[in-house]
Structures are given as structure tokens and as C-alpha cells.
């Protein structure tokens, strides 16, 4: 009887039933093995804080546990817990950066997940010492357009600079096979192609319309026309507005394409791959105007009077 009780206790403490639901545990800098043991026992990761401390002492592992965020499970074996805590934080946060986000919007998104100030991310992005040959020297501290939109998994210990480097490296990886020489054929630099792509990203919703928006931009540039793209004015304003006023269109900014001919001085957001491809491969059409018709679609034309007619019809609905 006594033997069976002892055997049951042995199994309970050393071979518990592992749970399926993950548990997040944070080991703080400077915490002792006793404090860690108590925390793990409280979360039911280990069956006994005393056994944890004893085994850590017997095996000389008391100072080997690294601080950070961990994903663990209830009823884990002591050796498995030791191995994880010695390897270092294993918690992976998932961050999704949508297409069309600015540096500031990206900073807010990342900061919400990784729990550091958004200002730290913005400062890291503006440090100007990243290896991005596509960005001209005069724009080196402006990474707008190059924090590639994607879903990322990263440790919650990741620093703002490391996140910036991750997003920049993703841009390089995603665009490495693009025919950047197409930019010269279109009369622009690769950097300006990203500027065009950022305009496309903010103007087009439907993928099939991205090359058409690109065509309008290039056609207007060739004819020395103002681009008159609302998204550039929105970028120049201190905050997004649902409807622009005539006063907004007069805002004195190099990004205001209602006042300044040519492309804005830098991208206005981070474009997705489809918009970058459209910037390098615009549609072969003579369109100069487009107007939103609802549900993400646009009407395109090369005739100004037709543009005005359709615009009036759409606004009158």
C-alpha cells in the first residue's frame, strides 16, 4: 500500500500530464531560482517549487536561466523546463503590417504588440545608418516606403532597431527579383519607382487597377501636368480626413501634388509588392484621369470632359 502511494506521488511530481493550452510566463532580470520556481509552480508549469529548486541546485543550474517571455505548458517535466529557460525566451509575437501604412502607423502597430514606446521605433527608423542602397543619401534618414508590409513573427524581446532591420530586409527579399532597370526606361530612378508605388497603394484597392493608376501617373508626368493625388495631401496634413476641403488642397507642402509638379520628395507609405510591380509595369493606355465609382473601383479616361461628367454623376448619387 505504502509503495503504491509512493509510486503515485512519484508519477504525479515527476511525470505529470502535460496540458495543451500555452501559458505565457515572464522571467524578470535578477530573479532567483526560488522566485522562478514559485512563479512556475503558481502557473502549474511544474508540480513542485521545492523539487524545481532542489534539482536546479543539484545540477548546478541556478544561474543559467535567462530572463524574458516564455511560452510554457502545465505539467511539464523539470528537465524540459530547465532546457527552455537556459535556451532563452521562446515567445513569438505576431505583428501584421498592412499595405499602405506609414512609418508612424507602423510604429504604433509594432509598439502595441512588443510593448515599447512608438517613439522609440520612430527614432530607430530615423537613425539613418541602414544598408539601403536604393535610398539616396539625402533621404537616408527617411525609411518611408521601405518597411515592407507583411505578417511577422518575432520575439517580444526584439528591439525597435531589430524590428526596423527585419522589415527592411524583407523589402530587399521581396523585391530582389524585380527588374529595377525598368525604372530608367520609364525616366525615373528605382527610388522614385517606390514613390510611384506608394501613390498607387493609397489610390488603388483593386489589383487589376494598379497598372492603370500607374499609367495615369506616368502620363501626367510626361505631359508636365500636376498629379493632383488626394493621398499626397492627406500625407501632408497632420491627421487623416475623410473629406478634403479646398483649403486642404492649398496646404504648403512639397508633398502637395495639387501645388507642386512632379513626384513628391519621398514615398507616402509602404507599398505592397503588387503596387511596386505596377510602378515598374504600368498599363499601356493613354488615361489621364480617374474617379472613384464605389466599392473600390475607378472610372478611367483620357478625356477631361468625360471625367467631369462621370465625377458629377458619382457625386450626385
Q: Which domains does the chain have, with CATH numbers?
A: 2-87 (3.30.1490.480), 92-175 (no CATH), 182-315 (no CATH)
pLDDT, tens digit, for every residue of 147-206? 999 999 888 788 999 999 999 999 999 999 999 999 999 999 999 999 999 999 999 999
Kindly indicate the confidence band of residue 13, based on its pLDDT and cuts at 50, 70 and 90.
Answer: low
Phi and psi dihedrals of 291, rounded to 5?
Answer: -140, 140
Give pLDDT, residue 314. Answer: 86
- Please give the share of the chain, as a percent, with pLDDT higher than 90: 71
Q: Which residues lie across from 73 on neighbouring strands?
A: 22
Is the whole-model pTM more than 0.75?
Answer: yes
pLDDT reported for residue 281: 98
Model confidence band, residue 9 (pLDDT cutoffs 50, 70, 90): very low
Least confident of 61-70, 74-83, 179-188, 268-277: 61-70
Confidence (pLDDT) at 155: 81
Using CA atoms, how far apart are residues 159 and 154, in angstroms rounded to an integer?
10
Which own/partner contact pairs does 31-37 have at CB distance under 8 Å and 24+ positions apart?
31/65, 31/67, 32/62, 33/57, 33/61, 33/62, 33/63, 33/65, 36/65, 36/85
Note whether 266 and 139 are within 8 A (CB): yes
Amino acid at each position: 500500500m505504502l509503495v503504491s502511494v509512493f509510486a503515485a506521488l512519484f508519477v504525479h511530481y515527476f511525470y505529470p500530464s502535460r496540458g495543451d493550452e500555452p501559458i505565457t510566463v515572464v522571467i524578470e532580470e535578477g530573479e532567483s531560482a526560488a522566485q522562478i520556481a514559485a512563479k512556475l509552480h503558481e502557473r502549474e508549469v511544474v508540480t513542485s517549487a521545492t523539487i524545481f529548486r532542489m534539482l536546479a541546485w543539484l545540477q548546478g543550474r541556478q544561474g543559467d536561466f535567462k530572463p524574458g517571455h516564455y511560452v510554457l505548458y502545465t505539467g511539464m517535466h523539470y528537465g524540459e523546463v530547465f532546457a527552455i529557460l537556459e535556451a532563452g525566451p521562446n515567445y513569438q509575437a505576431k505583428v501584421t503590417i498592412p499595405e499602405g501604412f506609414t512609418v508612424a502607423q507602423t510604429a504604433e502597430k509594432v509598439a502595441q504588440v512588443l510593448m515599447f514606446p512608438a517613439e522609440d521605433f520612430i527614432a530607430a527608423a530615423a537613425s539613418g545608418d541602414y544598408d539601403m542602397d536604393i535610398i539616396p543619401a539625402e533621404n537616408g534618414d527617411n525609411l518611408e516606403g521601405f518597411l515592407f508590409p507583411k505578417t511577422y513573427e518575432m520575439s517580444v524581446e526584439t528591439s525597435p532597431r531589430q524590428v526596423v532591420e527585419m522589415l527592411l530586409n524583407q523589402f530587399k527579399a521581396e523585391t530582389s527579383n524585380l527588374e529595377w532597370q525598368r525604372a530608367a526606361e520609364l525616366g525615373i530612378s528605382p527610388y522614385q519607382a517606390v514613390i510611384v508605388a506608394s501613390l498607387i497603394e493609397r489610390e488603388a484597392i483593386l489589383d487589376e487597377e494598379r497598372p492603370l493608376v500607374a499609367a495615369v501617373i506616368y502620363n501626367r508626368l510626361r505631359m508636365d501636368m500636376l498629379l493632383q493625388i488626394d493621398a499626397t495631401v492627406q500625407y501632408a496634413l497632420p491627421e487623416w480626413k475623410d473629406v478634403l476641403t479646398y483649403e486642404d488642397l492649398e496646404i504648403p507642402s512639397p508633398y502637395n501634388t495639387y501645388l507642386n509638379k512632379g513626384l513628391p520628395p519621398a514615398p507616402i507609405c509602404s507599398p505592397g509588392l503588387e503596387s511596386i510591380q505596377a510602378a515598374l509595369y504600368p498599363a499601356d493606355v493613354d488615361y489621364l484621369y480617374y474617379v472613384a465609382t464605389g466599392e473600390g473601383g475607378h472610372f478611367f479616361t483620357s478625356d477631361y470632359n468625360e471625367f467631369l461628367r462621370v465625377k458629377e454623376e458619382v457625386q450626385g448619387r
